[in-house]
Amino acid sequence: MSTQSAALAASSMCGPLMRGAQEWRRTLSIRERYLAAGDPDALPPPDSGVRPEIVMSWRRSLLSGVDTAGTDLPRDECAAMPGRLVRAARPVLERLATEIAGTQSWAFLADRECRLVDYVVGDPALTPQLEQRGAFPGARFGEDVVGTNGLGTAVERQRPFIVAGSEHFRAYESEATTAGAPVRDPVTRRLVGLLNLNCHYTRTSDLMLPYVTELAREIEARLLDSWPGAGADRALLEEVARMWKHRVQAVVVLSDEVFVANAAATALLGVADHELLRSLAREAVAAGRACGARLDLGPDLAVMARCQPLSAPARHPAAVVTLTAAGPAATPGGAAGAVAGALPGLVADAVPGSAAHAAADAGPGPEVPAAAAWTGAREPASRRLRGQLGQARAARLPVLLRGERGTGKTTLAEYLHVAGADRDRGQFTVTDCALSGIDAHGWTRRLGEALTDPAATVVLQHLDVLDPGLVAVTAGLLSSASARLAATAAHEVCERGDLLPLTERFPVIVDVPPLRERAADIPALITEIIAQLRPEPPRPRCTPEAVAALAASDWPGNVRQLRQVVATALVRSMSCDITLGDLPGGYPGAARGRRLTGLDRAERHALLTALRDAGWDREAAARDLGISRATIYRKLKRHGISPPAVHLQPAIQEGA
């Protein structure tokens, strides 16, 4: 796709552009009514004629407390000058100044924080007006500061965007049209700045957005030229730039000095996996042809890696690696995995002409789903669990689901009820055994009534805390039950002899792993939680980087805690897409710095198991693990493991 075509495609995503005095007045009236209501959720109706992107921007601006009557530009006077961006943009700005000379137009260059870096004007008379307003280096144009505008809204939407006339949130900008385009590092694809073009509303043109988008791409091209060693490694950097154009595939571009992975690959790989891929790349380069291998990255994480060496000359031999699903891992607990056998072929959704595309042409193979930002190679545990429950349902066998609190056992039990093609599905009843001691007679009566319907499903929740005096009665009710049965409990439930009359009524036992051991379920769980919290469209999403961070966390509170964190992030994102910055910091089990490799997870699990078995006596745990006291202290510090609060308090004797 040409630069002009890409720019036009970007502009087409913004919807029909507002034009003329009548539309300006209509939009102004709608905006004023919305602001007068004072309720961020009392949005204008979809048929109001205002673009939905603008309406959501107004909402974010209102929630941020932006003063619609404000005129100033807050400024960060100590903001560092992004030298590389300035150097790459200077020739583009100089040419732009020539092209808009003699017009009432002006352009801003901003850094990644939406702070002004430089500007050019078409008419010198505009300079004192801009400076009077506060348009000096460091002036802030973020949506949370000045409301809806071409720069700030482009940052929020992470794509080129144009705001015309009274679509601006503040009255002061309502006479202007502002079009902004993000500038990204062509290698890392991180946002490094923005470029925008501005004019009076009456001069609004459909060409503004594609034009400023094309200029932003020119700056990106110059950024590519400025990369260290760009001349010698031009082929490598161009391959990296192409990699970002397709996101459904996990792709890595690497040499001995460069390792660049897109979001899907970053979430799959740990630091220890980098050298493994480099070894595979060296083999491919030495052989002069594509090669493949299975990589076991953890107990439930395996990928097929296809490595295509770059044919173009480069300072360092380089290659492109594409990763696709390979099913369950062959070697549990492998840190970076093992190269185990050749790969017959692999299809990658790659850009034509790229090395990744050449690798895809080598042969057919599985393709990573578009939605798999980090889980492409993992089979979600929920799928396996539902498969087991489906078999139990078909045989109409009672099921006992065991696991930690908050793992979603009751939700899984509901699958027994909703699965299948039954037309006459009865009631789904959850009976909490924790309440059995409050009103024993009423509890057993309600349970008995629920068990009589053969079309119903009855779940005995928290079976392990049933009032001991009701065990025999409950077992009798279950023995004559007509309803489909399930129960949830902690792992220790089957070790209790007093509950044997109950547990033996459940011939199928399904162990539900804690969330930290089924991270492949997390992306789907996040989507489900967001859908529950925001049932009406437009529904926010979670960015791949945020999903990767959530998937790398330990989740001591399991699904219940994940829901709390996602709900908090959703509020902080103001109902926009959840980014890494929206996640609350320091929640229990939060990932620290990087995703754990398979070996890291296995080591951490072994440490925690030994500590729990030893009652958090670290010296005893070290002896059980066969390591020194100094080693266990070092590993505990490395993994951020500390005893629960109850073990940190000295015992207080009665009467002391």
Q: At 393, which CATH number? A: 3.40.50.300
Put residue 333 in one of left, alpha, beta given phi > 0 → left and psi -120 to 50 → alpha: left
Residue 119 bridge partners (DSSP):
108
Residues 178 and 37 in one domain: yes
Residues 454 and 336 in one domain: no
Full DSSP string of 208-242:
HHHHHHHHHHHHHHHHHHTSTTTTTTHHHHHHHHH
Q: Which domain holds residue 100?
A: 3-225
Does residue 504 belong to any structural domain of this protein?
yes
Percent of residues, the chain, with pLDDT higher than 70: 75
Does residue 73 belong to any structural domain of this protein?
yes
Residues 386 and 446 in one domain: yes
| Residue pLDDT, tens place only, 360-381 | 333 333 332 222 222 333 456 7
Does residue 365 belong to any structural domain of this protein?
no
Token pair listed for 218: 């020119």
Last residue of a domain, which of 225, 257, 276?
225
> How high is the pLDDT of residue 555?
84
Closest-CA residue to 570 (of 349, 49, 562): 562
Is pLDDT larger for residue 594 or for residue 632? 632
| Residue pLDDT, tens place only, 428-451 | 999 999 888 888 899 999 999 999
Helix (H) or strand (E) holding 252: strand 250-255
Residues 61 and 155 in one domain: yes
**Is residue 576 scored above 80 in pLDDT?**
no
Question: Tokens 């004629």 — which residue?
Answer: 49
> What's the mean pLDDT when you consider all of the chain?
77
> How high is the pLDDT of residue 588?
62
Percent of residues, the chain, with pLDDT higher than 90: 29
Is pLDDT larger for residue 269 or for residue 393? 393
Residue 325 bridge partners (DSSP):
303
Residues 93 and 214 in one domain: yes
Q: CATH number of the domain that 317 lies in?
A: 3.30.450
Q: CATH number of the domain that 605 lies in?
A: 1.10.10.60
Name which of 127-141, 227-241, 532-546, 604-618 the model is least confident about.
227-241
Does residue 375 belong to any structural domain of this protein?
no
Residues 337 and 449 in one domain: no
Residues 195 and 245 in one domain: no
Q: Which burial class, exposed, middle or buried, applies to 445 when counting CB atoms under 10 A from its CB (0-12, 13-18, 19+)?
A: exposed
Is pLDDT larger for residue 387 or for residue 544? 387
> How high is the pLDDT of residue 374?
27
Residues 30 and 162 in one domain: yes
Name which of 159-163, 184-188, 462-466 the model is least confident about.
184-188
**Is residue 501 scored above 70 in pLDDT?**
yes
Does residue 91 belong to any structural domain of this protein?
yes
Is pLDDT larger for residue 345 or for residue 10? 10
Q: Are 639 and 650 in contact (CB under 8 A)?
A: no
Q: From CA 402, how far away is CA 409, in angstroms rounded?
A: 7
Total domains present in the chain:
5
Last residue of a domain, which of 515, 537, 568?
515
The bridge status of strand 399-402 relative to strand 508-511 is parallel
Does residue 368 belong to any structural domain of this protein?
no
**Is residue 114 scored above 80 in pLDDT?**
yes
Residues 16 and 113 in one domain: yes
Residues 174 and 310 in one domain: no
Q: Average the pLDDT over 580-584 and give the result.
A: 81
Name which of 346-350, 409-413, 596-600 the model is least confident about.
346-350
Q: What distance separates the 2 farthest-apart alpha carbons in the chain?
A: 93
Does residue 369 belong to any structural domain of this protein?
no
Q: Which burial class, exposed, middle or buried, applies to 361 when counting CB atoms under 10 A from its CB (0-12, 13-18, 19+)?
A: middle
What's the one-letter identity of residue 142? Answer: G
Does residue 439 belong to any structural domain of this protein?
yes
Residues 81 and 36 in one domain: yes
Q: Average the pLDDT over 286-306 and give the result.
A: 74
Q: From CA 466, how far away is CA 503, in angstroms rounded?
A: 12
**Is residue 56 scored above 50 in pLDDT?**
yes
Most confident of 76-90, 263-277, 340-354, 541-555: 76-90
Three-state SS at 27: helix
Residues 572 and 640 in one domain: no
Q: First vs last Cα of the chain: how many Å apart?
A: 79
